[in-house]
Structure 1
């Protein structure tokens, strides 16, 4: 009996060792992109990083941008600013984010080095971006594009950095991959456990049967359902309209930088066909300030361009979609012609 117990212990140790190696080598555990805190804009990726995570490459320059280093010789600079939609996070490869795609496209089409600086971080609001620009300047930019979503309207800085506190904002690497898996991603296990064992069979059938889906699509939602869809998505607790919109407008005005807003919808808004009440606030602000606003709902955005199980973030095709939309706009403002 004791012999079997020892064998069992050895097997557990062996499996744990294999899992540790696989997590590190194949998935990049213990090699996460790190963050730093900042008193002005809360947090950002740590500078000068080059990590491989989940098969994707994440690089940052000395200003924590997902770009190559900014050089004194860079004469045509665009600021592409926003949150994780722009940043892409660790689930988007460096070559797949819109800023990289746009820089390569300008170089290929015009043989011209056009810098599209990716100034962003996950869960940033416009006030975070404005604080960054106030601290580091505008890098001689000739154009500013703010990519924003409805929830940014009230996503106001609390100046309480999550870095080193929340597992999603690590400031140092985990030493054990298995512990990182549990500490950062255990919610996934609980999600699937709850879905499999506690979701009523009728609900599962409804979402999985093509015939039922067709019936649902043919039924127009009543006012209560419309209200529920309007209130769906991300709701931030900030009181009042985010002051960062006004601050970015003033920064652009003082520095004579043309600015426009690219309004990116959440999944619920794509399904609804229009922006919710928070998005309407952003649209109204742009109208009041006479800022050009690009409504992505009018450009044919589809839920197929979003990551699975995600409310707002693009997949790699979505990043291409955004780059395709921005490219002619950037050409228009910079007057770049073939």
Structure 2
């Protein structure tokens, strides 16, 4: 019996060692992109990072942008600002971001180096972005493009930092990959059990609910019913002040500004934006801000990540690039 227990312990140690190695070297555990808190715009990726996570490279420059370093010779600059839709997170490789594709295409077309600065963070609202730009400036930009979604209409800063508290916003690396796997992703397990097995066992019922940004919405409706909006709903009081702050900032500095409105999957299913999206559309009409409606480009849910409601996959990043490229090129040609 003792021999069996000893062998079983050795077996567990070997399995744990192999799992630890696979998690570290194959999936990038203990190598997550880190975050820093900020009193003005809440949080952002830590600056000057170069990590590989889930097979994807995440790099940030000295200003926490997902870009190469800023140079004094950067004279043709576009600010592409938004949330995780353009940031991509660790699920999107640095070379698969729309901002990078746009830099290359615009540089080739204009025969001069063009910078498309990716100023973004997961779950940022327009007020986070405005606060960032007030703090660091506009980087001599010739154009500002805000990529936003319906839920941003009420996604207002609470200035309650979750960096180092929320496992999705680490400020230091885990030392053991197996502990990180459990600690950071335990709230996902009930959802995956439900997704693959069709139900959640009773003993999972007290687990934290999955983040709605990562959860695929349920769209089961009767044939006679319209699709139900099951997208992300933020609870901030009033319309996000960041929209007007960005508009005013651009106006004061004589920089063209436009908004690109990106739908969630539930809205693609409905064929139109929800009531919060309508608030953004009404703002652009009232303030005479140019609106690019992604529905004009016929988005498909096949360009979104699996089990996700709002984020593009790599094909979606290309789709976003192709939509923005002629618009940005037109502005930059006028500026010459």
Tell me, yes or no, whether TM beats 0.5.
Answer: yes
Runs (5+) with no aligned partner, structure 1:
201-215
1:237 is displaced (CA, Å) by: 1.0
1:82-161 matches, cutoff 5 A:
82-161=82-161
Aligned match for 1:282, one of 260, 280, 283: 280
Between Structure 1 and Structure 2, how many residues are aligned? 318
8 Å CA contact retained: 2:106, 2:329: no
Counterpart-to-counterpart distance in 2, 1:106 and 1:93: 20
Partner of 1:167: 167
Partner of 1:270: 268
Q: Deviations over 1:126-174 (max 9, x none)?
A: 0000000000000000000000000000000000111000000000000
Partner of 1:47: 47
Q: Deviations over 1:45-103 (max 9, x none)?
A: 00000000000000000000000111111110000000000100000000000001111
Cα distance change on mapping 1:5 and 1:305 into 2, 3 Å: same
Partner of 1:295: 293
Q: Deviations over 1:252-271 (max 9, x none)?
A: 01111100000000000000
Counterpart-to-counterpart distance in 2, 1:81 and 1:218: 35
Runs (5+) with no aligned partner, structure 2:
201-218
Counterpart-to-counterpart distance in 2, 1:260 and 1:65: 20
Partner of 1:204: none
1:190 is displaced (CA, Å) by: 1.9
Counterpart-to-counterpart distance in 1, 2:258 and 2:106: 20
User: Over the residues paired in the alignment, what is the CA RMSD in angstroms?
Assistant: 1.9
1:12-31 matches, cutoff 5 A:
12-31=12-31
1:191 is displaced (CA, Å) by: 1.6
Partner of 1:177: 177
TM-score by length of 1: 0.91
8 Å CA contact retained: 2:58, 2:66: yes
Aligned match for 1:332, one of 330, 333, 336: 330
SS at match of 1:44: strand
Structure number with the higher helix fraction is 1
8 Å CA contact retained: 2:193, 2:199: no
1:201-280 matches, cutoff 5 A:
220-222=223-225, 225-226=226-227, 229-230=228-229, 232-280=230-278
SS at match of 1:142: strand
Cα distance change on mapping 1:17 and 1:301 into 2, 3 Å: same
Cα distance change on mapping 1:195 and 1:115 into 2, 3 Å: closer
TM-score by length of 2: 0.91
Cα distance change on mapping 1:219 and 1:164 into 2, 3 Å: closer
Counterpart-to-counterpart distance in 1, 2:179 and 2:76: 45
